Structures are given as structure tokens and as C-alpha cells.
């Protein structure tokens, strides 16, 4: 839909000096420009804002164009809504191309010759597709994939295209190749590097990704680039640098990006590969700033949306009165590539060699998983995962924050492919500053605040803070957090667990504080005392104790070995607790409440400690839904490990007890 120009102030053609009331102008209505406008309004920027976009569409999310091409979403699904909280201060000019910047007089000129005052200017002009310099590149049938116009052209082309060659095995080329299969078009992917996504993936990860892409029916050719486009009136094929020729009717170029710096060059701003900016994102002109893919910071141009969002937040903070500096972004990829989850951050491809640096690998071929960490002196330098990885956001947080990685965590990674225990995978347990939505830079603390304010759905979170609205890769984490945010239900059989745990605890305390039963003074007074006086009965009760303890240990394997699927886990757990409640009674029958001496007393105390800790664990489990998740988790782990540690001395003490009884 074509958007009419907004209601910004239009000034005469003659240059005018900007007054103190002149608005702030943003050139570029892509995701980064819109994000900057939204951040300025949210942070209380006092002035008016002009937003210029040269496309005849409402702002949209370029990251989601591949989903639109593949038919996984529609136009409404890629729209980036403009801020509506302060419409009187935000004036959007869509379908309005700015052709000139005059820094000295602080005005902009559009393609119609109209001029607009500004006090400060933000360039978010993005980038365009890079076109390789090869013969035939201008022929009909050659496409790029950068904006909504390109996507519409490709959608129309795929209906009648029989064979499309995609040049470029990076993220954009892979997503485009998948989308082009929508109309059963044959697709061949050509990558000049020896593997797909060679800047983000190592050899092993690239091989897994290639298998996934080929399983989709896409032919993959690596190690050779484009040499020429064949055809006279239209594309009939391509020639590769190794001499191979491939017949095709459509060619899609996904060979990188070129920053849009023409406006900056004409305005005599300092330009390298991109518009050069300092740590305040200021250009060589003090009132002009640049963010996103057009900006070059410390010699780097980021081709991802997340660094652009970070720059937008930093600049909005500075312009709103809170000083901030941009120190660079960690280059990270966390997306589904051709249907395969891929995460890459930091130094994972040919990392620099440093003292005490190690590379750790984990492979699970059965599940198609590959993970790699680069570690130096207890700190992550890089992380890579192909296949589902719940920890990837926490890895990114550890990279960004420099969090320590212990030897135990590395040992767990080698064995299981994860750094943290399984019960710490809930997002609610993450540090508040940990980033959950990488695209929008939303932390766990911000999400929790949104949920507390009433955002109880994915749509609510997307509306309040934008989380999950870009690539969608964090939506499983958002589901995880939303599931942990509300009132938690008690575990099944909570009352029975509480009753069994309380009974076992009371019996253990009674055993400790009640005096031993008095010895009988005659044969007529023996009665129940025969249980601990008669040798045979005492042996029976002793071996009964041993058998029940071994049975309890076997029951605990139900959780550790899921293949033991007989009955429900909750039922086995309740039976385990009830068995523990009955053991003090059998122990009283075996000992007459007499604790004995020396090692026998240590055996008794260890046994009662084992039972008491188990009873406390049952009570905690029955009531942990009333505690905070963090406190419940820490308490459960403490009691579980204490219960397990109390088991270890028991076999040795029991062996000494049995040997001493039968020997003497």
C-alpha cells in the first residue's frame, strides 16, 4: 500500500537556519530506524521526530522476508508498527526519498525539491545487495533479495521458474533457496567457500548444515564461485570458476551487502566502507549520527539487525539526556537456517591462538547435534551449536558478561553437551541482565517486568517490548518464561508426600530422644522385647532393614533411568517416601531404641540422618510451589545431594557391623 506523506513542516526551497525548535530527523524507516524512534519516545526525548522512508510500504521486518517468500507468513506478519504512544511528536514520511543533506544549514531535501529543517540527524540508511562484477549480470532473470520489492518479484518469478541458481551460501542465500522451493522450483546453491556459512560455522557444523539443506532437495555446490551469467536476451545458465556450466532460467544473487553511503558522501561526511562513527555514534559532523548497516564503528560493519538495535538504544539514550557509549557488539547468529537451529557467537571459526586456550566438542549423531566451545582461563571466547540447544542464550550471556565457566561445567559439557544442570534450564532462573531476545536486546529482567505488568502471552510481550517479534528464535524461551511466571501447581500427591515425610521425621526424632526399652527381668516379662533379644528375630529384622533399604535405592533409579517406565514416577516417589516412614519402626524393633556404641552408634546415626534428610526432601517437594522458584531449586538440590552423600558411609559401616556380629 502506498503511504501518503506525513504532516512534517515543509520549508521554502531557500536554505534556512534551523531554529531551536527544529525536529530531530531519522533517514531510514527500516527496523533500526523505527527502533530508534521508539526508543527516543520511550526515553522521554522532548522534541519532535521526523521519520523518512523511501519505500512505498509501511515499515516491515527484513529478517522475515525469507518467511514471506517461503509462505510461512503474510504481509501482516512482517509489519513493524510505528510507535503510537506519542503520535503528535512522531511524523512519518513514507515513500519520501531524501536526496540531499545540507549540514551547514541543517536541512534535508527530498526528490520533489521540498526541504525539512532538522536540529539533529540520524542516518539509518541500511545497505543494498552487493552485485559481483561478472559478465551478463544485467540480463533479465537475475534477481537480488534485499527488500519487499525484491521479494514480490521473486514470488512472481517462482510461479514460472523451473530451475533457479542461488549464488551465496550465507544466511540470506540459504533462506532464499528454501523459500524458492515454494512452487516446486528446482534450486541449486553455489557457494564459493568450502562450506556453507563459512564465517559462522566450522567444518563439522557446516557439514551438518549441508546435509540438512540437501535433505530439503536443494543441490549444494561448494568451492567455486560465479564466473559469468550465460544468455543473450535472458538468463539461460551460469558458468562457475572451475569451468562447470549449469543451465537455469533464474539467478538469485546473495553475495553480501554494500552500505548505503551516497548521501553521506555527498554531504562530505567521513566514509570508509561505511559511514564512520565514534563511540557516541557521531559522524564527522557533530549533529549527524549513523546507526545500523550503514555505520562503520571501529572498522567494523555489522550485517545483522541485533547490533543495529543496540546502536539505536545507545544513541536514543544519549540524545534523551543519559550519556551512553557504544563499544561494539558481539557478532552472534541464532536462527533457524533451512529449518535447522544454528547458533554461533564469538570466536568459533579459526580463532586466534592464546595461552591456555581450549576447544571442547560435543557430538550426538543420532540427534544431529554438534556443539563447540572455545574457552580460555575459565571464560568463553566462542560458542557454536547446530541442532536444538536450550542453553544458547545463556552461552551468549556468558560471552557478553564474561561469566566464569568452572571445570565442573566443562566436564558436564563433554559428557552431555550442556554447561548447566538440567534443572537450571528454566528461563526464570537466569540472571536478570541475561539477554533472552537477541534481536530486540530484551533481558530476562525486562521480560519479567512486562509479565508482572500483565503481558501474559507472546503477543503481549511482543507489543510491550518487542520480544519474539523479529526472527522468532526466542519464542521457545518466552514460552518457558511465561510457563514459570504464574502460580505453580503442587506436585501430584503433595498431601500424601507431606504426611509421609512428616511421619518419617517424627519417628526419627523419637528414636533419638526416647530412652531405650528396659531389659526384661524374667522370662515371663519378655513379650515384645524378644524382637531385639532373640537372635533369630533380630537377624530377621536386620536383614529386613537391609532389603527395604536396597528396595528404596532401586526405586530411586526410576528417575535416573526413564526406561524403567513401569508405573508413574509420582507413584514410585510416594512409595519411596512411605517406605522411608516405615523404616524407623523396623529399626526400633531391631534395636529396642538402643543406639549401641562405637561404629554401631555411627551406623545408627548415619541411618537416621539418611531417613531424616529424605523426610525433609519430601516435605519440601510437597510445599515448594509456595516458595520462589530460585529458593525451591536451591533447597531441593541441597537436600538431594545431602541425602545422596549420607548413603555413601552406610555400606561400609553396615559391613563392619555384620562382620562384628557374626565374628564375635
Write the CA distances from 98 to 61, 94, 213, 257, 316, integer angstroms.
21, 11, 41, 21, 22
Element (H, E) at 500: helix 494-513
Average pLDDT, the chain: 83
Are 164 and 186 contacting, i.e. CB atoms less than 8 angstroms apart? yes
Q: What is the mean pLDDT of residues 5-12?
A: 37
Q: Which residues contact 313 (CB under 8 A, 6 or more apart)?
A: 35, 39, 441
| pLDDT over 90 (residue 642) | no
Task: Give the per-residue pLDDT at 140.
Answer: 95
Are 331 and 343 contacting, i.e. CB atoms less than 8 angstroms apart? no
Can you tell me the distance from the alpha carbon of 372 to that of 417, in angstroms, rounded to the nearest whole number?
9
- CB-count burial class (<10 Å; 0-12, 13-18, 19+) for 64: buried
Q: What is the mean pLDDT of residues 251-273?
A: 96
**What contacts 24+ positions apart, CB below 8 Å, involve 403-406?**
403/379, 404/378, 404/379, 405/375, 405/378, 405/379, 405/380, 406/378
Q: What is the mean pLDDT of residues 592-617?
A: 79
Domain ranges of the chain: 24-128+258-319, 142-255, 347-425, 494-663
pLDDT in tens, 449-492: 888 887 778 778 877 777 776 555 577 777 777 765 545 556 66
Q: What is the mean pLDDT of residues 325-342?
A: 84
Task: Give the per-residue pLDDT at 10.
Answer: 35
pLDDT in tens, 132-166: 999 999 999 999 999 999 999 999 998 889 999 99
Can you tell me the distance from the alpha carbon of 9 to that of 448, in angstroms, rounded to the nearest whole number?
41
Task: Give the per-residue pLDDT at 9.
Answer: 39
pLDDT in tens, 491-539: 667 788 888 888 888 888 887 787 776 655 554 445 556 555 666 777 7
CATH code for the part of the protein at 347-425: 3.30.390
HEC profile of 318-351: HHCCCCCCCCCCCCEEEEEECCEEEEEEECCCCC
Rounded to the nearest 10°, the torsion over CA 410, 415, 417, 418 is -50
Between residues 502 and 601, which one has the greater pLDDT?
A: 502
- Chain centroid to Cα 456, Å, comes to 20
Task: Give the per-residue pLDDT at 97.
Answer: 96
Task: Give the per-residue pLDDT at 95.
Answer: 93
Q: What is the mean pLDDT of residues 357-362?
A: 94
pLDDT in tens, 534-559: 667 777 777 777 777 777 766 665 55
Lowest mean pLDDT among 421-430, 440-449, 536-545: 421-430
Are 266 and 179 contacting, i.e. CB atoms less than 8 angstroms apart? no
Q: What is the mean pLDDT of residues 98-106?
A: 96
**Two domains, one topology: 24-128+258-319 and 142-255:** yes
Are 618 and 497 contacting, i.e. CB atoms less than 8 angstroms apart? yes
Lowest mean pLDDT among 19-33, 485-499, 626-640: 485-499
CATH code for the part of the protein at 142-255: 3.50.50.60
- Chain centroid to Cα 180, Å, comes to 28
Q: Is 424 helix (H, G, I), strand (E, B) or coil?
A: helix
Q: Is 289 helix (H, G, I), strand (E, B) or coil?
A: strand
Q: Which residues contact 187 (CB under 8 A, 6 or more apart)?
A: 163, 164, 165, 166, 177, 180, 181, 217, 218, 219
Lowest mean pLDDT among 160-169, 193-202, 245-254, 525-534: 525-534
Percent of the chain with pLDDT over 90: 44
Band (pLDDT 50/70/90 cuts) for residue 2 is: very low
Task: Give the per-residue pLDDT at 17.
Answer: 37
| pLDDT over 80 (residue 389) | yes
CATH superfamily of 24-128+258-319: FAD/NAD(P)-binding domain (3.50.50.60)
How many Cβ atoms sit within 10 Å of the Cβ of residue 638?
14
Lowest mean pLDDT among 404-413, 427-436, 608-617: 427-436
| Residue whose C-alpha is closest to residue 384's, from 435, 329, 332, 422 | 332
**Residue given cell 539514550 in the structure block:** 317
Between residues 369 and 617, which one has the greater pLDDT?
A: 369
pLDDT in tens, 116-126: 999 999 999 99
Global pTM value: 0.68
pLDDT in tens, 559-589: 555 444 455 666 767 777 778 788 788 777 7
Amino acid at each position: 500500500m502506498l503511504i501518503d506523506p506525513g504532516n512534517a513542516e515543509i520549508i521554502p526551497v531557500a536554505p534556512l537556519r534551523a531554529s531551536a525548535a527544529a525536529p530531530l530527523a531519522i533517514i531510514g524507516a527500516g527496523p533500526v530506524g523505527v527502533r530508534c524512534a521508539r526508543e527516543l519516545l520511550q526515553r522521554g526525548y522532548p522534541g519532535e521526530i521526523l521519520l523518512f522512508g523511501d519505500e512505498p510500504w509501511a515499515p516491515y521486518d527484513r529478517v522475515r522476508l525469507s518467511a514471506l517468500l517461503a509462505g510461512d507468513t503474510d504481509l501482516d506478519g512482517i509489519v513493524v508498527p510505528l510507535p503510537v504512544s506519542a503520535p503528535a511528536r512522531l511524523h512519518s514520511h513514507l515513500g519520501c526519498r531524501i536526496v540531499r543533506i545540507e549540514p551547514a544549514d541543517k536541512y534535508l531535501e527530498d526528490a520533489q525539491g521540498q526541504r525539512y529543517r532538522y536540529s539533529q540527524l540520524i542516518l539509518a540508511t541500511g545497505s543494498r545487495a552487493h552485485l559481483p562484477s561478472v559478465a551478463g549480470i544485467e540480463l533479465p532473470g537475475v534477481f537480488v533479495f534485499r527488500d519487499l520489492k525484491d521479494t514480490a518479484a521473486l514470488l512472481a518469478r517462482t510461479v514460472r521458474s523451473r530451475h533457479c541458481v542461488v549464488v551465496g551460501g550465507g544466511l540470506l542465500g540459504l533462506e532464499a533457496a528454501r523459500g524458492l522451493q515454494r512452487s516446486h522450483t528446482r534450486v541449486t546453491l553455489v557457494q564459493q567457500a568450502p562450506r556453507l556459512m563459512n564465517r559462522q560455522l566450522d567444518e563439522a557444523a557446516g557439514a551438518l548444515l549441508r546435509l540438512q539443506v540437501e535433505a530439503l532437495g536443494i543441490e549444494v555446490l561448494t568451492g567455486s564461485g560465479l564466473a559469468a551469467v550465460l544468455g543473450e536476451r535472458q538468463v539461460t545458465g551460469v558458468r562457475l570458476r572451475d569451468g562447470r556450466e549449469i543451465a537455469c532460467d533464474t539467478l538469485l544473487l546473495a553475495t553480501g551487502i554494500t552500505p548505503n553511503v551516497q548521501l553521506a558522501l555527498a554531504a562530505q561526511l567521513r566514509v570508509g566502507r561505511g559511514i564512520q562513527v565514534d563511540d557516541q555514534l557521531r559522524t564527522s559532523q557533530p549533529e549527524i549520527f549513523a546507526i545500523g548497516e550503514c555505520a562503520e564503528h571501529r572498522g567494523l560493519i555489522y550485517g545483522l539487525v541485533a547490533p543495529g538495535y543496540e546502536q539505536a538504544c545507545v544513541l536514543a539514550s544519549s540524545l534523551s539526556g543519559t550519556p551512553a557509549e557504544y563499544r561494539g557488539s558481539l557478532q552472534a547468529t541464532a536462527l533457524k537456517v533451512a529449518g535447522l537451529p544454528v547458533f554461533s557467537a564469538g570466536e568459533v571459526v579459526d580463532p586466534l591462538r592464546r595461552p591456555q586456550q581450549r576447544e571442547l566438542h560435543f557430538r550426538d549423531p543420532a540427534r544431529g547435534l554438534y556443539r563447540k566451545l572455545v574457552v580460555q582461563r575459565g571464560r568463553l571466547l566462542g560458542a557454536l551449536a547446530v541442532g536444538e540447544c536450550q542453553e544458547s542464550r545463556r552461552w551468549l550471556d556468558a560471552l557478553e558478561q564474561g561469566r566464569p565457566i568452572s571445570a565442573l561445567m566443562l566436564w558436564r559439557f563433554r559428557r552431555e553437551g550442556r554447561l548447566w544442570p538440567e534443572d537450571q534450564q528454566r528461563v526464570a532462573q537466569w540472571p536478570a541482565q541475561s539477554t533472552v531476545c537477541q534481536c530486540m536486546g530484551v533481558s530476562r529482567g525486562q521480560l519479567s517486568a512486562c509479565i508482572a505488568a500483565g503481558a501474559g502471552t507472546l503477543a503481549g510481550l511482543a507489543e510491550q517490548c518487542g520480544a519474539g517479534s523479529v526472527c522468532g528464535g526466542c519464542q521457545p524461551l518466552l514460552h518457558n518464561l511465561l510457563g514459570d511466571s504464574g502460580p505453580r501447581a503442587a506436585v501430584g500427591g503433595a498431601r500424601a508426600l507431606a504426611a509421609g515425610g512428616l511421619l518419617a521425621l517424627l519417628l526419627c526424632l523419637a528414636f533419638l530422644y526416647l530412652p531405650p526399652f528396659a531389659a526384661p527381668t524374667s522370662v515371663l516379662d519378655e513379650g515384645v522385647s524378644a524382637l531385639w533379644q532373640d537372635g533369630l528375630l533380630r537377624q530377621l529384622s536386620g536383614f529386613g532393614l537391609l532389603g527395604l533399604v536396597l528396595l528404596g535405592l532401586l526405586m530411586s533409579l526410576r528417575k535416573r533411568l526413564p526406561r524403567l517406565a513401569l508405573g508413574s514416577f509420582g507413584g514410585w516417589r510416594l512409595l519411596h517416601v512411605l517406605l522411608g516412614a516405615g523404616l524407623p519402626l523396623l529399626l526400633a524393633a531391631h534395636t529396642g531404641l538402643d543406639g549401641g556404641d562405637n561404629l554401631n552408634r555411627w551406623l545408627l546415626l548415619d541411618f537416621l540422618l539418611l531417613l531424616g534428610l529424605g523426610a525433609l526432601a519430601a516435605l519440601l517437594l510437597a510445599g515448594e510451589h509456595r516458595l520462589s522458584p530460585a529458593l525451591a531449586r536451591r533447597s531441593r538440590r541441597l537436600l538431594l545431594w545431602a541425602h545422596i552423600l549420607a548413603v555413601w558411609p552406610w555400606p561400609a559401616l553396615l559391613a563392619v557391623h555384620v562382620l562384628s556380629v557374626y565374628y564375635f
